[in-house]
Structure 1
């Protein structure tokens, strides 16, 4: 990848180390940001875990890879079947491993001057500051979700959450079901909730807080954040080819979990514009069998063409003979190049869990959404998708939290060809242009990244 002429002409070759939390959904945006920094003329390294470097293909382009150990080098977090114990192991081994990487470069021409660390890893700031490094916390979730966890940290939102809704500064009124699930069901994953709340434990000592969003997307929240932290919005962290096109060859994230078979693109090429429903629930979310069943028959009832990503571990949940009965309309795959798919003219809507990466991709590519959130940040993201940004619908759920086939069919039809769907498509196109604006010269995220590079370069 090459930087465009006139960009990245900074005084010194500063070395920035980027430390992601060790899961795919955090590596992608942080590696993308690392590429942005490298395109500005900085020396940049990224530190996935040793297990990640073994279990996935990572093409970091101009970014060097400096693996760290989480103490689980063979099977990752699966080696420790307890979230609390794994996080303790990650803190201990990660701190030691990070220290060694920084020490290795201490007396070289590439001495590390700044650590950009995942906000899930506040201990990394302590390590960095022992060496006199500047520190930037990188928040991979939306400002709205981060704000909820901040209010929990500050004691302004307490458990158990009572009443039907909560009203918090800079946020719309949120029904309890629209809060991040780790907050609305605080007893479900206490160790993970503690991790998310602890993001703010030492943020008063950080040099910068970087957020994977852009000013116009969460304007009120960004202004509120700026009053508390040295906040810079730097998103969306989508490959440059889909935004400002400033980084040559930057067409994908460079991280691959599966063998890449893009036969689905040939299939899409035979479909008309806006005629295909794309369904994917990311790399982690698991649908209960009943939800898989209802989704499947809802798709069949719509009678639209559909492309559905079903991971190998989920395939046995598909209804009996569903593939055979829908083979003239549907294509079910284990993996697909999601950015390419969303950018394809044939896609009419995206049925999604509303993970933040998928949401930003859809916003960046102007794709309307049907949001079926499962857990963590997704209920809050889905609220914004429908009620704040107006780019999608949320199907209603029954008393068991299941979206029924009739409701699923109704929402997909409405987005694809209904009256509300026309407004949703207009809004989706608007946000697509605004993401490009934020990432281009003069835009909020572009300017913030330029300022960040200038500041760490001593300008």
Structure 2
């Protein structure tokens, strides 16, 4: 395992999340915790993300952007987007490191990157940095992907088979990630999830968004094979450790505009645990028929609901659905999930 034996204040860390909110926020909260321990931290974003950010710095955390050809014709498919991202990062990361070495008294020593971008490790080593792969999911979920990658779990899965894996309980087919529905080894989602382990034996540090008491057995199994650290939960300091009052994260300090005030005001007027929360995340793009089914189910449920619909997905909502459901639910582009859960609304 790689070691760095100088004081935190002299260690400059680059953090490069996958450019989607569900990956940026965990990385940002990890950055806040590192900053609270006196590490020097720079968060890397792409140019298109940087344009939509509400701030250009968070506390002592610097924010740098790299070009991502956002002015070029954008490929609509995920495969095209990933190819563009990789090409841009390959150029931009090296240029950023070189700039920091010329201008910063403490140039970067390590880059923490999202595990879905394993190719960054090769870039890091090429420019003389240590590489730390950050898995935003739990050890158990990542272990399942690893066994799928190794062929221990065969895809497509026979639904009658019970899967037995080291340090995990016996699992039925419906206990496994939905990757079982993507048996094509060249499927972009399959490859993105399984390629997280393509160079795992070369990674200097491996970080998981979990903690040992939650996943002791599977975390121990992983630690016997790789230099892992459990660093979770990566959530705002306000909810994790109120003693760390460094000013960076006491209000969540998300990178994007959140509409938090309107959202939380609406939730505050609802009874405890009375709201159904619906979100498809920052990447999934359900079809109009699927959106229509969800909308109909919410109306028929007679439950209060909070539905997060990305701006670019709003056109898929059924006509007049917003007005018809205004008494019952709230449709918003983004929700401060932690606040909603911690204060027991949903």
Q: Normalising by structure 1, what TM-score? A: 0.65
Q: CA deviation at 1:208?
A: 1.2
Task: Tell me what 1:225 maps to.
Answer: 222
Contact 1:31 1:60 in 2 (8 A): no
Task: Tell me what 2:101 maps to.
Answer: 106
Cα offsets for 1:162-184 (capped at 9, x unmatched):
34343322333333344333343
Contact 1:183 1:193 in 2 (8 A): no
- Single out whichever of 316-325 and 129-138 deviates more from structure 2: 316-325
Task: Tell me what 2:3 maps to.
Answer: none
Structure 2: gaps (5+ residues) = 1-5
Contact 1:167 1:173 in 2 (8 A): yes
Task: Tell me what 2:261 maps to.
Answer: 262
Separation in structure 1 between the aligned mates of residue 324 and residue 159 of structure 2, nearest angstrom: 45
Q: Secondary structure at the match of 2:211?
A: coil
Structure 1: gaps (5+ residues) = 1-8, 350-459
Q: Does 2:74 match 1:95?
A: no
Separation in structure 2 between the aligned mates of residue 140 and residue 269 of structure 1, nearest angstrom: 29
Q: CA RMSD in A?
A: 2.9
Task: Tell me what 1:252 maps to.
Answer: 252
* Distance change (3 Å), C-alpha of 1:90 and 1:296: closer
Contact 2:36 2:246 in 1 (8 A): no
Q: Does 2:119 match 1:123?
A: yes
Q: CA deviation at 1:149?
A: 2.0
Q: Does 2:22 match 1:34?
A: no
Q: 1:46 aligns with which of 39, 43, 48?
A: 43
More helix by share: 1
Separation in structure 1 between the aligned mates of residue 225 and residue 36 of structure 2, nearest angstrom: 30
Task: Tell me what 1:62 maps to.
Answer: 60
- Single out whichever of 149-158 and 214-223 deviates more from structure 2: 149-158
Runs of at least 4 residues of structure 1 off by over 6 A? none
Q: Secondary structure at the match of 1:114?
A: strand
Q: Secondary structure at the match of 1:67?
A: strand
Separation in structure 1 between the aligned mates of residue 238 and residue 84 of structure 2, nearest angstrom: 38
Contact 1:262 1:336 in 2 (8 A): no
- Single out whichever of 332-341 and 39-48 deviates more from structure 2: 332-341
Q: CA deviation at 1:272?
A: 3.1
Give the 5 Å matches for 1:302-321.
Answer: 302-315=301-314, 317-318=316-317
Q: Normalising by structure 2, what TM-score? A: 0.84
Separation in structure 2 between the aligned mates of residue 33 and residue 57 of structure 1, nearest angstrom: 19
Give the 5 Å matches for 1:56-455.
Answer: 56-58=53-55, 59-70=57-68, 72-74=69-71, 79-107=74-102, 108-165=104-161, 166-187=163-184, 190-245=187-242, 246-249=244-247, 250=249, 251-256=251-256, 260=259, 262-315=261-314, 317-318=316-317, 322-345=321-344, 347=345, 349=346
* Distance change (3 Å), C-alpha of 1:57 and 1:202: same
